[in-house]
C-alpha cells in the first residue's frame, strides 16, 4: 500500500518538486496485485521495476488463489503480480473501489490469468463493469476472442482509456453463469489530456502493435512496457513476414515534440511493403464496433538522399481517405489520429498507398486501435452516495451486496434501496430507504436529511434511541415515515404532527414506549415556562434600555469607533468588573497568543469558559476584536468555537468562549501535553472536523468567509477531543459572483501562509486550503512547521524531499507505532500535498478536502471494526459534497 500512495501523491506534490523527479518515476500509477495478502509488504517487480501492492484495502470480498501452471510462450506471465489472483465464489457483483483524480484520463488495465488456479480446468466466463456500465465480457473459453490483444493462452488482458467523473472509481466483476469470476491485477496509469481524446465515451483497446521481425512471439522481450514506455502501455510485436520488410535505426529519434511519449524501442523500427509499388496494409477484427479511433505513429528513420522522398496516402477501410500526401518527419516522431464512424464488415482495414511522386515505399512504425465504448448510464448522484455511505458508517452496516454503485444497474441495486432512474443520462437519486430489521443502534442519522429526493423512510423494528429529529419535516418529498418498534423518546416535533394531521405524510410510531404521542407534552411545559418567560422579557427590556444608554454614551466618548454600534447584541455583554469576577481576578492563565492572554473562568458557578483579554502590546486591536465578535454572533457550527460573550468597555476588550479542556492541537502534536500521543483515528477525526468547520465558513456563511489564520494552535479540543476552529480576528468575507479574489494586505502566521497570497496580495479561499494542508502535514508527521536544522526547513519542502527520495517511513510520526490503516494514511498524505500545491489552481476546495478525510476516517474505522478511541460522545458528523442548492447547515 505504501508504494501506491507514494506514487499517487508524487503526481500532486507541486511545481517546486517536479524538477527533482525523474521522468521515469511512476507518478500517479496505481498497481494492484490482486489476491496478495494484506500482511504482505508492497514490492518492486524485478522484471519491470513496477511497484505493486495488495488489493486488500480496495475490496471487501473474495478469496486468494495462486496459478498452477505457467506458459513459457508469454513473457507477460513471468512477472510476479500475475501469479496470484482473487476469485469470487460468493455474490453476483464484486467491486474494487479506487481513489482517482477526477477529470484525469487513465489507462485502466485488468489482467486475468487463469492457469488452472482452482484445479478444475474450467476457464470462466463473466462480465467486467466500469462503474454502472458494461465494459467487457471475459470469455477465457474463446481463445480467438482475444486475438487482437496481448496474447495469453491461459488468460486475457482488458484495457480502456477512461476519464472518471468523480474522485472514486468502481471496477466490478459480475457473475453470469456457473463459473467463478477472478482477477489477477489492476493497473491504472494517468495520461496526458492532449493525447487520447474523445468527445463521448471511453476508448476500449483493440490492438497496440509495433512492427519488427527481429522479435518473435516466443521471446518475452517482445512485449514492450514500463520502463521503456513511461506510461506503461503494453506494445505487442506484430509482423507480416510475407508482405513486409523491416527497417530500423540506431540513431535516436526525437520524441519530445510528440505528446504520446513513444519509446525509442518502438519508434526506431518500422515496416515497409515488399516489392516496388506495393501498398502497406493491415486489418483488424472489429465486430459490433461503430466508432473507431486509430493512432498511427510514424517517423522517417532512414537518412534520405536529396533525390529520395517518402510520400503516401492513408486510406481507412478501403474508401475513406484520411490523407493524400503524408510524409513522415525525419528522425522525429509524429502521430496521425483517425476518428471514424464508418461501419466495418467484420474486419476494418488500413492502407498506406505510395503516391506517384514518391521514390520510397510507405512505412509505419506503430499503431493503436480503439473502439469507442459509450458509457451511457450515469452514476448515482454523488451527494446521495456520500450521504448513504455516511449512514452505512454510522450504523456499521456490512452487506455483501453493497458494492459498486448503489442504484445501477437496477438488478444490482443495494438491498433496502429504491432509486429513480428514468433516463440513463440523469444521475439516479435515492427515493426510498427500507432499513427495517437491520439491527440499527443509536440515534437517527443526521445524514438522512441530505437524501433530499427521499419519498419513503422505513427504520422500523430496530434499536434506535433518542428523539425524532426535526429535519425529517424538511424533506419535501417524504410521504411515509415508519419509526415503529424502536426505543425513541421525547416528543414528536410539531411540524411532523401537523403534516401527519393534514395528510401530507404517513407517520408510523407504534412500539416506542418512551415516545410521547400526546400534543399536551409540549403544552404543559409551555404553561410551566410562561411565568419565567414573562419575567425574563421584562428583564430583557430593562437591560436593552440600559445597553442603549451605554452605547449612546460610548458614541460620544469614542467617535473614532462609531462602528462598535454595529455589533449584534444577541450575546451577553459583560462589564470588565464582571470579567474579573468570572476569572477570579485573572487567577489562572491558560495560554497566550497574538491577541493577548487567555484566562480560565467560571460563569454562573457551573459553566467553564475561556476568557481572552486583549494585551496592550498586541499587534491586533479593535478591528480584529470586532471582526471576531461580528462573525461568531452570526455563524453557528459544531466545529466552530462558540462565543459566550464579550466585554467592550473603554480600553478593555475581552472575548469569552466555551472552555476547551484539552487545549489545542499543537500542544498534543508537540508533546506539550502529558497525555499519550493522539492515535491515527483521533488525528483523522480532528482533521475531518476542522475541515467541516472551514467548509462551513467557505460555503455555508453569507457572505462566505476566509479564516486567514488556520494553524494547529487555533484548532481547539474539548473534553471529548472534538475539534473546533477558533481565532477569527483575521477573517475576511469572500467575494461572490464574477470576482475571484480579495486584494488585501497579507496577514497570517509564518509557515502556514499561502505563498501565492504572499506574492500577489490576492486572497482566495484556497489560501485557507494551503494553511490546512500544512496542518494536515503536522498531523501526519508531528514535525514542526519550520525547523532550520532540517535539510529542508519548511515542512512542505521536507515532506516533498523525503518522498522524491523514496523515504516513506521517516515521514510518519513514529509515536503512531505503525498502528494505522495504510490506505487512509497515504490518502491523507496525498491530500495534504495537493492542498499545499504552490499554485492555488492545483488545490482542492474544502468540500473535496472534507470528503477525502471522511473516506480516510471510514477506512481507519473499518480496520478497527468501527471502534473509536475517544469518548463515544465525540460527535463526528461527516461532510458531504454540496451542489448549488445545498450548503452546510449550522450544526
Catalytic residues, by residue number, are: 709
Contact 31, 4 (CB under 8 A): yes
Contact indicator for 366, 282 with CB cutoff of 8 Å: no
Give the Cα separation of 743 and 557 in Å (integer): 33
User: Does residue 272 contact residue 240 with C-beta atoms inside 8 Å?
Assistant: no
Please count the CA atoms within 13 angstroms of the CA of 234 that sit on its side-chain side. Answer: 26
- Whether residue 209 contacts residue 224, with contact meaning beta carbons closer than 8 Å, is answered with no
Task: Give the burial class of 443: count Cβ atoms within 10 A of its Cβ; 0-12 exposed, 13-18 middle, 19 or more buried.
Answer: middle
From the list 73, 69, 76, 20, the residue with the least C-alpha distance to 48 is 76
Number of H helices, E strands in the chain: 15, 45
Strands 463-464 and 441-442: parallel
Q: How far apart are the first and last CA of the chain?
A: 36
The x, y and z cell numbers of residue 556, run together, are 460620544
Other Cβ atoms closer than 10 A to 724: 22
Residue ranges of E strands in 731-836: 732-733, 742-743, 762-763
Candidates 264, 275, 291; CA nearest to 206 is: 291
3-state secondary structure of 576: helix
Q: How many CA atoms within 13 Å lie on the side-chain side of 435?
A: 24
Phi-psi region of 20 (alpha: psi -120 to 50; beta: other; left: phi over 0): alpha
Rg (CA), the chain: 33
Is the CB of residue 793 less than 8 Å from the CB of residue 750? no
Determine if residue 612 is labeled as part of a ligand binding site.
yes
Measured between alpha carbons, how far is 763 from 36 in angstroms, rounded to an integer? 47
Among candidate residues 778, 769, 751, the one with its CA nearest the CA of residue 847: 769
- Residue written as grid cell 421584562: 538
Determine which helix (DSSP H) or strand (DSSP E) holds 647, and give its type and residue range: strand 643-649
Tell me how far CA of residue 439 lies from CA of 436, 442, 511, 672, in angstroms. Answer: 8, 10, 16, 43
538 contacts 528 by C-beta, under 8 angstroms = no
User: Residue 333: left if φ>0, alpha if ψ -120 to 50, beta else—which one?
Assistant: beta
Q: Sign of torsion, CA 789 794 795 800?
A: negative
Question: Are 370 and 292 a contacting pair, CB within 8 Å?
Answer: yes
CA–CA distance, 728 with 737 (Å, rounded to integer): 24
Q: Any idea how long the chain is?
A: 891
Strands 182-183 and 84-87: antiparallel
The DSSP element (H or E) to which 246 belongs, if any, is strand 244-248
User: CB-hemisphere CA count at 13 Å for 162?
Assistant: 26
**Is the Cβ–Cβ distance between 611 and 585 less than 8 Å?**
no
Biggest CA-to-CA distance, the chain: 110
Q: 185 has which bridge partners?
A: 33, 111
Binding-site positions read 612
Cite the annotated binding site for ATP by residue number: 612
Amino acid at each position: 500500500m505504501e508504494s501506491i500512495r507514494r506514487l499517487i501523491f508524487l503526481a500532486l506534490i507541486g511545481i517546486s518538486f517536479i524538477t527533482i523527479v525523474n521522468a521515469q518515476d511512476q507518478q500517479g500509477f496505481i498497481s494492484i496485485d490482486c489476491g496478495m495478502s494484506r500482511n504482505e509488504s508492497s514490492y518492486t517487480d524485478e522484471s519491470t521495476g513496477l511497484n505493486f501492492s495488495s488489493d486488500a484495502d480496495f475490496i471487501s470480498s473474495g478469496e486468494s488463489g495462486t496459478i498452477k501452471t505457467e506458459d513459457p510462450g508469454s513473457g507477460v506471465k513471468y512477472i510476479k503480480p500475475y501469479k496470484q489472483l482473487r476469485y469470487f465464489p460468493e455474490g453476483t457483483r464484486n467491486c474494487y473501489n479506487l481513489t482517482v483524480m477526477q477529470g484525469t484520463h487513465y489507462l485502466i488495465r485488468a489482467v486475468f490469468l487463469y492457469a488452472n488456479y482452482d484445479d478444475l480446468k474450467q476457464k470462466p466466463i463473466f462480465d467486467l463493469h466500469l462503474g454502472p456500465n458494461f465494459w467487457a465480457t471475459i470469455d477465457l473459453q474463446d481463445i480467438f476472442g482475444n486475438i487482437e490483444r496481448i496474447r495469453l493462452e491461459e488468460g486475457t488482458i482488458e484495457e480502456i482509456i477512461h476519464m472518471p467523473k468523480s474522485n472514486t472509481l468502481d471496477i466490478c466483476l459480475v457473475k453470469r453463469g456457473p463459473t467463478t469470476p477472478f482477477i489477477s491485477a489492476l493497473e491504472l496509469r494517468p495520461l496526458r489530456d492532449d493525447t487520447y481524446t474523445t468527445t463521448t465515451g471511453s476508448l476500449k483497446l483493440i490492438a497496440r502493435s509495433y512492427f519488427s521481425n527481429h522479435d518473435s512471439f516466443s521471446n518475452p522481450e517482445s512485449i514492450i512496457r514500463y520502463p521503456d514506455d513511461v506510461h506503461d502501455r503494453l506494445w505487442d510485436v506484430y509482423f507480416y513476414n510475407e508482405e513486409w520488410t523491416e527497417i530500423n535505426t540506431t540513431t535516436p529519434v526525437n520524441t519530445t515534440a510528440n505528446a504520446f511519449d513513444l519509446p525509442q524501442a518502438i519508434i526506431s523500427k518500422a515496416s515497409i511493403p515488399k516489392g516496388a509499388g506495393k501498398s502497406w496494409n493491415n486489418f483488424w477484427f472489429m465486430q459490433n464496433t461503430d466508432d473507431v479511433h486509430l493512432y498511427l505513429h510514424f517517423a522517417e528513420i532512414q537518412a534520405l538522399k536529396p533525390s529520395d522522398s517518402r510520400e503516401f496516402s492513408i486510406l481507412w477501410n478501403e474508401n475513406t481517405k484520411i490523407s493524400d500526401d503524408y510524409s513522415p518527419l525525419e528522425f522525429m516522431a509524429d502521430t496521425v489520429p483517425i476518428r471514424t464512424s464508418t461501419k466495418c464488415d467484420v474486419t476494418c482495414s488500413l492502407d498506406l498507398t505510395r503516391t506517384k511522386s514518391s521514390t520510397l515505399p510507405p512505412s509505419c512504425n506503430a499503431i493503436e486501435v480503439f473502439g469507442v465504448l459509450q458509457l451511457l448510464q450515469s452514476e448515482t448522484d454523488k451527494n446521495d452516495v456520500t450521504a448513504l455511505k455516511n449512514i452505512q458508517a454510522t450504523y456499521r452496516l456490512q452487506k455483501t451486496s453493497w458494492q459498486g454503485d448503489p442504484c445501477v444497474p437496477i438488478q444490482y441495486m443495494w438491498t433496502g434501496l429504491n432509486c429513480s432512474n428514468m433516463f440513463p443520462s440523469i444521475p439516479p437519486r435515492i427515493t426510498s430507504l427500507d432499513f427495517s430489521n437491520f439491527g440499527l443502534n443509536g440515534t437517527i442519522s443526521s445524514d438522512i436529511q441530505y437524501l433530499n429526493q427521499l419519498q419513503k423512510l422505513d427504520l422500523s423494528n430496530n434499536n434506535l434511541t433518542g428523539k425524532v429529529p426535526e429535519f425529517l419535516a424538511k424533506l419535501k418529498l417524504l410521504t411515509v415515515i415508519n419509526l415503529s418498534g424502536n426505543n425513541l423518546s421525547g416528543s414528536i416535533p410539531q411540524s411532523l404532527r401537523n403534516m401527519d394531521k393534514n395528510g401530507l405524510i404517513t407517520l408510523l410510531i407504534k412500539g416506542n414506549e418512551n415516545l410521547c404521542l400526546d400534543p399536551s407534552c409540549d403544552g404543559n411545559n409551555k404553561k410551566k415556562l410562561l411565568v419565567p418567560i414573562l419575567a425574563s422579557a421584562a428583564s430583557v427590556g430593562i437591560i436593552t434600555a440600559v445597553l442603549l444608554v451605554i452605547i449612546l454614551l460610548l458614541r460620544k466618548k469614542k467617535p473614532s469607533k462609531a462602528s462598535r454600534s454595529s455589533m449584534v447584541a444577541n450575546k451577553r455583554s459583560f462589564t470588565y468588573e464582571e470579567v474579573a469576577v468570572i476569572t477570579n481576578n485573572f487567577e489562572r492563565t491558560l495560554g497566550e497568543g497574538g491577541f493577548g492572554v487567555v484566562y480560565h473562568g467560571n460563569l454562573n458557578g457551573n459553566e467553564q469558559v475561556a476568557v481572552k483579554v486583549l494585551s496592550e502590546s498586541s499587534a491586533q486591536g479593535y478591528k480584529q476584536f470586532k471582526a471576531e465578535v461580528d462573525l461568531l454572533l452570526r455563524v453557528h457550527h459544531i466545529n466552530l468555537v462558540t462565543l459566550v460573550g464579550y466585554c467592550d468597555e473603554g480600553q478593555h476588550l475581552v472575548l469569552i468562549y466555551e472552555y476547551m479542556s484539552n487545549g489545542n492541537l499543537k500542544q498534543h502534536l508537540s508533546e506539550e501535553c502529558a497525555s499519550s500521543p493522539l492515535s491515527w483515528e483521533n488525528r483523522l477525526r480532528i482533521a475531518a472536523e476542522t475541515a467541516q468547520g472551514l467548509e462551513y465558513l467557505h460555503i455555508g456563511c453569507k457572505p462566505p468567509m476566509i479564516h486567514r489564520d488556520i494553524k494547529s494552535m487555533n484548532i481547539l479540543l474539548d473534553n471529548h477531543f472534538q475539534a473546533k476552529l477558533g481565532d477569527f480576528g483575521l477573517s475576511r468575507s469572500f467575494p461572490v459572483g464574477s470576482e475571484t479574489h480579495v486584494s488585501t494586505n497579507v496577514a497570517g502566521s509564518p509557515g502556514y501562509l499561502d505563498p501565492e497570497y504572499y506574492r500577489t496580495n490576492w486572497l482566495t479561499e484556497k489560501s485557507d486550503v494551503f494553511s490546512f494542508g500544512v496542518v494536515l502535514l503536522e498531523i501526519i508527521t508531528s514535525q514542526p512547521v519550520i525547523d532550520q536544522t532540517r535539510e529542508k526547513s519548511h515542512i512542505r519542502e521536507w515532506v516533498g524531499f523525503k518522498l522524491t527520495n523514496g523515504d516513506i517511513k521517516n515521514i510518519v510520526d513514529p509515536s503512531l507505532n505503525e498502528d494505522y490503516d495504510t490506505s487512509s494514511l497515504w490518502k491523507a498524505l496525498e491530500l495534504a500535498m495537493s492542498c499545499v500545491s504552490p499554485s492555488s489552481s492545483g488545490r482542492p476546495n474544502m468540500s473535496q478536502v472534507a470528503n477525502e478525510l471522511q473516506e480516510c476516517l471510514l477506512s481507519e474505522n473499518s480496520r478497527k471494526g468501527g471502534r473509536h478511541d475517544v469518548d463515544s460522545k465525540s460527535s463526528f458528523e461527516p461532510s458531504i459534497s454540496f451542489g448549488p442548492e445545498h450548503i452546510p447547515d449550522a450544526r
